[in-house]
Amino acid sequence: MNEHRRQFLVLAASATTFAALPLSLRAADKMKIGIIGSGNVGSALGAVWVTAGHEVMFSSRHLEHDQSLAAKLGAGALAGTPRVAAAFGDVLLFSVPYRALPDLGKDLANELQGKVVIDACNPFPSRDGEIADWAREKGAGLASAELLPGARIVRAFNAIGAASMGSAHREPGRLGMPIAGDDAQAIEIASDLIREIGYEPVLIGGLAMGKHLVPGTPLAGEHSAEEIRRIAAELM
């Protein structure tokens, strides 16, 4: 049995402890979600979570844009700086250009400690430069964990278009969402939020498997949950 498969089985087994977690830590409850990066992906996902009844704070380098977005979405939607959003959220979504992660990891170091972070960032060498080359060589999941120390990272939403993310809730469960993570509780919390977006989360393994969750890999694009399981099995 190789290391990826062994880690996957351990995570799958430990996830069964989720039913015993305190209700305050379960994503079935309404949560506070901080969006770090409110571009196409962040705004699409955040809008669905607002509709689902969560409190969502949008943040980016452009506070006026975030304030306008929050006003448009109405009750439950807020705007703030990345630091304020990181402190606000029980769960954080990072959806920024990969080159922004080193500075965010340093600037938000205190706020990130122990937080569940859904990592939707992708390293593109043509856009992000040398750090993207490094992240692709290391594997995007492990690289994000190094850049955001203390965060409980679940890699997801990495290779499907933003427009699809915003409309998947109309046909819940039709498509799967491959995810990778090392923290069983964080995986369960993120999985509930992913289901609210409209996808069936499929754990493909630990963060080391996050190298497969980037555009251009076999897991990129739209697949059913069963197709994702089949493709992931071939990658192990």
Reduced to 3 states, what is the DSSP secondary structure of residue 95? Answer: coil
Q: What pLDDT band is residue 173 in, cutting at 50, 70 and 90? A: very high
Q: Using an 8 Å Cβ cutoff, are 151 and 117 in contact?
A: yes
pLDDT digits (tens, 9 = 90+) for 194-220: 999 999 999 999 999 999 999 999 999
**Among 177, 175, 178, 186, which residue's Cα sits nearest to residue 148?**
186
Q: Which residue has the higher pLDDT, 159 or 17?
A: 159
Residue ranges of domains in the chain: 3-235
Mean pLDDT of 137-155: 97
pLDDT of amino acid 174:
93
pLDDT digits (tens, 9 = 90+) for 75-120: 999 999 999 999 999 999 999 999 999 999 999 999 999 999 999 9
Among 3-12, 38-47, 135-144, 184-193, which is the least confidently predicted range?
Answer: 3-12
Tokens of 19: 């039913």
Q: Using an 8 Å Cβ cutoff, are 72 and 130 in contact?
A: no
pLDDT of amino acid 162:
84
pLDDT of amino acid 163:
83
Distance linking the first and last C-alpha atoms of the chain: 10
pLDDT of amino acid 119:
98
Mean pLDDT of 36-52: 96
pLDDT of 27 over the 60 cut: no
Mean pLDDT of 30-45: 96
Give the bridge partners for 56, in sequence order.
33, 77
**What's the residue count for the chain?**
236
> Which superfamily is assigned to 3-235 in CATH?
NAD(P)-binding Rossmann-like Domain (3.40.50.720)
Q: Which residue has the higher pLDDT, 152 or 28?
A: 152
pLDDT of amino acid 198:
96
Q: Which residue has the higher pLDDT, 95 or 164?
A: 95
pLDDT of amino acid 24:
35
pLDDT of amino acid 120:
97
Determine how many CB atoms are found less than 10 A away from the CB of residue 84: 16
Query: Whole-angstrom Cα distance, residue 168 to residue 41?
Result: 13
Look-up of token digits 């690289």: 143
Q: What pLDDT band is residue 161 in, cutting at 50, 70 and 90? A: confident
pLDDT of 22 over the 70 cut: no
- Alpha helix ranges (H) inside the chain: 3-14, 40-51, 63-73, 82-88, 101-107, 109-112, 125-128, 130-138, 140-147, 162-167, 184-197, 225-235
Reduced to 3 states, what is the DSSP secondary structure of residue 199? Answer: strand
